[in-house]
Amino acid sequence: MPDPVIVAGAGPTGLMLATELGLAGVPVVLLERRATVPTWSQTFGFHLSSQQMFRQRGLDKFDGAGRFPSFDWGFPGLTNAEPEKFPIVFPQRRVEKLLADRVAELGVLTRRGHEVVGVEADAEGVTVTVNGPDGEYSVRGSYLVGCDGGRSVVRKAVGIGFPGTEATLSGRTGDVEILNEEYRNGIGSPFFPTGLAATVQNPDDPSLSRATVVEFTAERPPDEVPITVEEFVAAFERVSGITLKVANSPWLTRFGDATRLAERYREGRVFLAGDSAHIHFASAGQGLNTGIQDAVNLGWKLASVLRGWAGDELLDTYQQERLPIGREVTVYPQVQMSLLHPADKAGPLREFIAALTQFEEVRRYLIDRATGTGIRYPMVYDGDPAPEHPLLGLRVPDLPLVTEDGPTSLAVLLQSGHGLLVLTGDGTAAEVAAPWRDRLTLVRATSIEGFEDGALLVRPDGYVAYAGSGADDVLPAALLTWFGQPAAGRAV
């Protein structure tokens, strides 16, 4: 049994990573510096690509979660475009509860109140120094993944740079009990000459409202100065002209638009994921969504290496695939803010962008980028791109199919966390894939709605690695790339 993977941080990213590793039978030590589970939610929006990922792991328990009634994606001209892709109203604390329950089911213990304070990595593993309730101790792991936020101790300990820009605005948000009934669930347009201001009913507690205010040019108070209700109300009035009457507030915080991206996502046996690797202006749950996708991309690759199926080169693909996505995600909110401030430049720019969004391809590009549904990983085998196919490199849609055991769907077949090879043609692809059957689910389907080719190879994270007849040199190359060398004694 290998040393465990140590995961620092039990937010959505760390919890998602722990579920992926636990599902693969990899031992995990999950460390969280906070002693208790937060009672508040950083965001209420849960994006489509994460919903799809949760379906592929049987975690789609979104009871009572409706879609946002209106959404502009942060761009003029996109209001109410493609409502089927709107985020659902599913607060972060519910996301974390789903994941925490799954982590517990898988036998992974979350050590709360245990903070990483030191890291020493070598060629064989990582030794982590932890400050826990009973004092300081050390734990040895095969790998360490820093999911410990924008001020990541792990990232700093291994010397990964975090270049970017400092905050240029001052934001405040929180859950407040508003006595002005007319302002509890909206104040009209959130856009004002000097900033943004908005309220919405808190789906976790209808007696509270989530209120947010952003001042474009105000200086943010020092972090060590506690935020107060009086400070929040004053800022809200300066921007909107509205005086909120607030009875109490169980949670308030400040935020900015600092934008940073890690120089690399890996340093030997140490990896970064989520906010440890990228931070940006809070934009409708994009940070949570990106962190979950980071975790799923890395989890199955770590498991494959630790099981002895794949070599270290598979782990290099984590940075190759996810760092460009991190770069895109940090740019998107910067573009959104440039469409709001300064007003003399933003006005003409907004008018120009609104004209562009009348084109369907522009709308689709912006929305797919915001939701993460447009991610397409390059599939290159033996130095050559795989033959083009509409599904190649994309997350596989949840296509219905009929097997010998009856009707099912691709999402259901992926819930085991294994790779998947679905065959609709002759036995050629099955013979090719036979040496990898110990790590691959092979399913024969009489039909797959929307797929007419003979073989569909899907990675454990749901991305299509091969689509074709199965009778070519590309399928074995794809199997070698993503599923490693075949089992001993089995010829390719």
Per-residue pLDDT reduced to its tens digit, 397-419: 998 888 888 999 999 999 999 99
Phi, psi of 256 (to 5 degrees): -135, -160
- Kindly list the domain boundaries of the chain, sorted by start residue: 5-165+259-371, 170-255, 380-483
Give pLDDT, residue 492.
46
Give pLDDT, residue 284.
67
SS3 track for the chain: CCCCEEEECCCHHHHHHHHHHHHCCCCEEEEECCCCCCCCCCCCEECHHHHHHHHCCCCCCCCCCCECCCCCCCCCCCCCCCHHHCCEECCHHHHHHHHHHHHHHCCCCEEECCEEEEEEECCCCEEEEEEECCEEEEEEECEEEECCCCCCHHHHHCCCCCCEECCCCEEEEEEECECCHHHCCCCCCCEECCEEEEEEECCCCCCCEEEEEEECCCCCCCCCCCCCHHHHHHHHHHHHCCCCCECCCCEEEEECCCEEECCCCEECCEEECHHHCEECCCCCCHHHHHHHHHHHHHHHHHHHHHCCCCCCHHHHHHHHHHHHHHHHHHHHHHHHHHCCCCHHHHHHHHHHHHHHCCCHHHHHHHHHHHHCCCCCCCCEECCEECCCCCCCCCECCCCEEEECCEEEEHHHHCCCCCEEEEECCCCHHHHHHHHHHHHEEEEEEEEECCECCCEEEECCCCEEEEEECCCCCHHHHHHHHHHCCCCCCCCC
Phi, psi of 234 (to 5 degrees): -65, -45
Rg, C-alpha atoms of the chain: 24
- The CATH number of the domain covering residues in 5-165+259-371: 3.50.50.60
Please, are residues 413 and 441 in contact by the beta-carbon 8 Å criterion? Answer: yes
Give pLDDT, residue 257.
93
Query: What fold is seen in the domain 380-483?
Result: Glutaredoxin (3.40.30)
Query: What fold is seen in the domain 170-255?
Result: Alpha-Beta Plaits (3.30.70)
Give pLDDT, residue 80.
86
My answer on whether omega of the bond before 87 falls inside 30° of 0, hence cis, is no
Please, are residues 161 and 262 in contact by the beta-carbon 8 Å criterion? Answer: yes
pTM, whole model, 2 decimals? Answer: 0.95
By C-alpha distance, which of 414, 398, 373 is closest to 449?
Answer: 398
Give pLDDT, residue 79.
87
Give pLDDT, residue 197.
97
Ranges under pLDDT 50 in the chain: 489, 491-492
Structure tokens at 76: 């003029």
Q: Please, is 489 exposed, middle or buried when counting C-beta atoms within 10 Å of its C-beta (0-12, 13-18, 19+)? A: exposed
